[in-house]
Amino acid sequence: MRIAITGAPKSGKTTFSETLPGNVRHTDDLIPLGWSESSEAASLWFDDAAVDVVEGVTVPRAIRKWLERNKEGKPVDKIIILTNAPFVPLVAGQKSMAKGITTVLTGIMGELVARGVEVEEKIITTQEL
């Protein structure tokens, strides 16, 4: 099963992803590419059969780009959205990023469901990490 994980900054995405089996890719590794370029590069991971899990704040924008490029099929089997509060206080830019994630997810959710992607909202605690 191919999985994407997203959620607000500092919500435990990376740590949670490391509990899952398989090849995990972290969108934070793409930060040096820049805003648009990182989501484009991450969108290509959904075409790589060797990638089992993609996690990060860039995931919604990467999925949106994948959907625009692929008029059929699904980028992943399941998207997990961490809905718990961040584990540390967020700075202003991180708060804006969290709002942006919600906005993009709202825009693509209908298409994901229509294409058969399972959507799971998950609250994790520090005990699970």
Q: Is 73 or 35 the better-scoring residue by pLDDT?
A: 73
Q: Please check the confidence at residue 49 and state whether its pLDDT lies above 80.
A: yes
Closest CA to 81 of 12, 28, 26, 2: 12
Q: Give pTM, 2 decimals.
A: 0.94
For residue 125, what pLDDT is reported?
A: 78
Q: Please check the confidence at residue 124 and state whether its pLDDT lies above 90.
A: no
Burial (CB < 10 A; 0-12, 13-18, 19+), residue 78, is: middle
The CA angle 14-102-106, to the nearest 5 degrees, is 125
Q: Domains in the chain: how many in total?
A: 1
Residue with tokens 């919500």: 11
**Which range has the worst mean pLDDT, 24-33, 91-100, 111-120?**
91-100
The parent domain of residue 26 ranges over: 3-128
The CATH number of whichever domain residue 81 belongs to comes to: 3.40.50
Q: Identify the DSSP state of 128.
A: G
